[in-house]
Amino acid sequence: MTNQISEHLPKDKQEEIIRRMVDDRDFRYWLCSESLYWFSQYYFRKPSYAETPDFHREILHDLEGIKEETYLIAAGRGMGKSTLANLYYVLWRILCREEKFAVLLSRTQRQADQLLENVRDELEDIDRILSDFGPINKVNDQWGRAGLEVGNYGAKIIAGSME
């Protein structure tokens, strides 16, 4: 049925879907669990004047279908790659697909830790996520590495590096 609720609808129809998501929690949970695009639209919605670029829609669709393969995103600096893959996708897998563990990888530990901090910073201001899924807590593991506990069901995000 999600193909009937396409991300390529006219703006007024998309606004109607967002309004229904606001009013109907069961519908919201169902649609967000089925669609990374709608998850990102509801929980990370920008002001109405900011349209989702077509290449973001393509990346979100590709990420949604990933099984156990490598997916490379090539785009310039500031084009949203990290936001789409390290924030939207990771949280969608944990919150809507009930994954229990995610690792944000980068070349250096400093970069990986920064990715984790960026996720935490983004989440601190999103009342919709906190209301629907529970608190986001920063924790340290037995080796002193920082991580985030997400929601009320024991999911965790940590940062790691190739170092």
What are the tens digits of pLDDT across the range 124-148? 778 888 888 887 777 766 555 678 8
What pTM does this model have?
Answer: 0.81
Nearest alpha carbon to residue 92 among 20, 43, 142, 21: 43
Which tokens hold the place of 27?
Answer: 């519908």
What totals of helices (H) and strands (E) does the chain contain, helices first? 8, 4
Confidence of residue 47 (pLDDT cuts 50, 70, 90): low
